[in-house]
Amino acid sequence: MLDPTEVTRLLAACETLREEVVVRLAAESGLRNGEVRGLRWPDLDLDLAARRVTVRRAVWRDVVKQPKGKRLVPARVAYHELRHTAATTMLTNGTSAVVVARQLGHKDSRITTRVYEHLLDDGLLDAALSVFQPPDVAGRVAGLDEAEQEKAADRLR
């Protein structure tokens, strides 16, 4: 997967607007190669409020089929890496696996979770716990007299 700096460099290396659009679609939406190739102007809603792409077809080896697929794009980056870049960027910025699965076209969010579970680190686990009000256990214990502290410690043993 590419980090944001690498994506920026890849976009800058594109020689045509068409290349830039293809790379941006893949890196920011996670669309598959054939899905991007199958897009037509009516499939794009470029209004900044909507920002939607409707995937109606995929093209693979000049065959139009139902969407679902690795080709090289500028700078010798495997196309599928851009799909992983999009998914990783969404997941590490807090988008739920269910939403990412839907964006990627996975039939089940368990597929997304299985492929990207390595992204779960302690930071994300801390973020999950941050939704709860942290208890002030230390402050409450410090407010107890010595006998009450000993009694509380006995209950924990």
Distance (Å, rounded) from C-alpha 130 to C-alpha 54?
36
- Residue 65 pairs in a beta bridge with 58
Contact 74, 23 (CB under 8 A): yes
More confident residue, 62 or 27: 27
Instruction: Give pTM, 2 decimals.
Output: 0.52
CATH code that applies to domain 4-129: 1.10.443.10
Given a cut of 50, is residue 2 above it in pLDDT?
yes
pLDDT the model gives residue 145: 76
